[in-house]
Copies of this chain bind each other. A is one copy, B any other.
Amino acid sequence: MADKVTACILIIGNEVLSGRTQDANLNFLAGELNTLGIQVGEARVIPDVEQTIIETLNYARDTYDYVFTTGGIGPTHDDITSACVAKAMGYDFAHHPDAVKMLQSHYKPEDLNEARLRMAQTPVGASLIENPISKAPGYQIENVFVLAGVPRIARAMFDNLKSRLVGGAPVLSTTVSSDLGEGVIAQPLGDIQTLYPDIDIGSYPYFKDGQLGVSLVLRSTKPEQNEECAGAIKEMIESLDGNIIFSL
């Protein structure tokens, strides 16, 4: 098992950059990948521009173990992701016979027009990812997974591809939440971080029901170490006369 397995997520679509659409795929994919022991190192939101997609994809697939794209695989003129993936990776771009069959099973012959058949085009050699909702599939080519932008479909596709992923050691997360202000715990928390360099300790202030507080999130691949570090954090909170709201 690799020590660390990484991924990059590319959200492709003008609608996210214009503020029209709130992306929901990054959060979902990041959470799922994390559970599988795959750490998302970076995400980029880019427009439907050929050169940008090509350059970004080539950077991402060279830099990370896995790349996931969402968006731009529908039937309309602005759906250029698949053609860009083929061009970026040097593959021919053609109708995938199995994808054509999937569309044929879904549409009446008279409705399966040229535009809809575009959704069956993939880089030649791609391995399809089933879409139980609207049938037009996603696909995998090398370490790149091409998914729909519609969150419901992206999620269904992810469920259908995740058995193909090989993660590293899963990153386990322990959260200790306190009613102390972030500024009160900052100094001793920094000292604890220094003592546990293998744990990524994040400090996230919150404001809930009129009450300020802070959640301290410990992330590492070593559960015993998380537990030990969480113990040190709880002691620190109590020594500052704070309350532990929850710990899990």
Q: Which A residues have a C-beta under 8 Å from some C-beta of B? A: 14-24, 26-34, 39-48, 52, 74-79, 107, 111, 113-116, 118-119, 150, 152, 171, 173, 182-187, 189-190, 193, 200-205, 207, 217, 219
Can you give 6 A-B contacts (C-beta < 8 A)? A17-B41, A19-B33, A20-B202, A21-B204, A111-B183, A115-B183
* Complex: A79 Cα to B28 Cα, angstroms: 25
Separation of A75 and B40 alpha carbons in the complex (Å): 25
**A29 and chain B: residue at smallest CB distance:** B19
CB pair A76 B203 closer than 8 Å: yes
B113 touches A187 (CB 8 A): yes
CA distance A182 to B237 in the complex (A): 56
Closest to A35 in B: B19
The 6 closest A-B pairs by CB, nearest first: A19-B31, A115-B186, A19-B30, A116-B183, A77-B190, A76-B203
